[in-house]
């Protein structure tokens, strides 16, 4: 089955700087890669997703890149703000079975 | 409501008891998923319903776990003879489930504590 690895497990960034979280996946049939943000005690919230037919997607300060050949994808947050502090999860799924396999999460702390 | 609704929000029960957790998906969503999140851990897939197809039960950790979805809407996850290792937050998600992979939207979860 699919295996998703996520790094780093913790990340501290000065406010205003950029943060990058990286994930790798094992199943070449995976074609959908969402990122979720989870604040303490809250539900995971989808912040951005990318499909395998594109290499990059951007939404304001958040961007995701996908390298299908290397089977890795990354989340980039620019101009970080204190409210970006949370745990971020990457995930992968494939057409025909949409269950998500999640990475182990990255605890992002923005230092004011 | 507009989002995925789960009940109860918290459940405390004694080891050996059965529990039933409920999920009400977003209206019109044909796909429904159950995940489990242990303290400080990632999300673990349990079971997936898509329309009238047979559910994917490949993530259920033991035969004490079962789930059903009646009328293609509300789902219940049942854990029989609960054990302490069943303590976790149980999250439900739903998606449109048509064509290409659709975003999954999560409920607030049920925090289950087994004494």
Residue pLDDT, tens place only, A69-111? 999 999 999 999 999 999 999 999 988 778 999 999 999 999 9
Q: Where are the beta strands (DSSP E) in chain B?
A: 5-7, 10-13, 19-24, 31-37, 43-50, 65-69, 75-79, 88-95, 105-106, 110-114
Percentage of chain B surpassing pLDDT 70? 97
Task: State the average pLDDT over residues B39-54.
Answer: 89
Distance in angstroms (rounded) separating the CA atoms of residues A59 and A23: 19
Residue pLDDT, tens place only, A41-50? 899 999 999 9
Please count the CA atoms within 13 angstroms of the CA of A89 that sit on its side-chain side.
Answer: 21
Question: Which of B64, B107, B71 is CA-nearest to residue B86?
Answer: B64
With cut-offs at 50, 70 and 90, classify the pLDDT of residue B99: low
Report pLDDT for B1. 53
Chain B contacts of A103, Cβ < 8 Å? 42
Looking at the partner chain, which of B31, B45, B103 has a beta carbon nearest the beta carbon of A49?
B103
With helix as H, strand as E and coil as C, how does A30-93 read? EEEEEEEEECCCCCCEEEEEEECCCCEEEECCEEEEEECCCCEEEEEECCCCHHHCEEEEEEEE
Residue pLDDT, tens place only, B55-97? 999 999 999 999 999 887 999 999 999 999 999 999 999 999 7
Residue B40 has pLDDT above 80, yes or no: no
Chain B contacts of A95, Cβ < 8 Å? 100-101
User: Do the Cβ atoms of B97 and B30 come closer than 8 Å?
Assistant: yes
Distance in angstroms (rounded) separating the CA atoms of residues B86 and B114: 7
Helix, strand or coil, per DSSP, at residue B66: strand
Instruction: Say how many CB pairs under 8 Å bridge A and B.
Output: 60
Looking at residue B84, the DSSP 8-state letter turns out to be G
Please count the CA atoms within 13 angstroms of the CA of A64 that sit on its side-chain side.
Answer: 24
Chain B contacts of A94, Cβ < 8 Å? 101
Say yes or no: B20 contacts chain A, CB-CB below 8 A. Answer: no
Question: Which of A39, A19, A38 is CA-nearest to residue A79?
Answer: A19
Q: Is B81 left (phi over 0), alpha (psi -120 to 50) or beta?
A: left
Question: Which of A12, A22, A20 is CA-nearest to residue A104?
Answer: A22
Return phi, psi of residue A55, to 5°. Answer: -100, -20
With cut-offs at 50, 70 and 90, classify the pLDDT of residue A22: very high
User: Do the Cβ atoms of A91 and A79 come closer than 8 Å?
Assistant: no
């Amino acid at each position: 089955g699919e295996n998703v690895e996520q790094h780093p497990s913790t990340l501290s960034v000065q406010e205003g700087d950029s943060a990058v979280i990286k994930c790798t996946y094992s199943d070449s049939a995976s074609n959908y890669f969402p990122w979720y943000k989870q604040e303490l005690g809250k539900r995971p919230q989808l912040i951005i997703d990318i499909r395998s037919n594109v290499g990059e997607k951007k939404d304001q300060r958040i961007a995701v890149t996908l390298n299908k050949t290397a089977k890795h994808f990354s989340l980039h947050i620019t101009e970080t703000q204190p409210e970006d502090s949370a745990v971020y999860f990457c995930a992968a799924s494939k057409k025909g079975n949409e269950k998500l396999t999640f990475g182990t999460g990255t605890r992002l702390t923005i230092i004011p | 409501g507009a989002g995925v609704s789960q009940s109860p929000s918290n459940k405390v029960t004694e080891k050996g008891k059965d529990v039933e957790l409920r999920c009400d998906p977003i209206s019109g969503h044909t796909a429904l998923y159950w995940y489990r999140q242990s303290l400080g851990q990632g999300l673990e897939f349990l079971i997936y319903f898509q329309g009238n197809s047979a559910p994917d039960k490949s993530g259920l950790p033991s035969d004490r776990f079962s789930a059903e979805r009646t009328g293609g809407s509300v789902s219940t996850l049942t854990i029989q003879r609960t054990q302490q290792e069943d303590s976790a937050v149980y999250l439900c998600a739903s998606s449109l489930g048509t064509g290409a992979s659709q975003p999954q939207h999560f409920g607030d979860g049920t925090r289950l504590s087994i004494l």
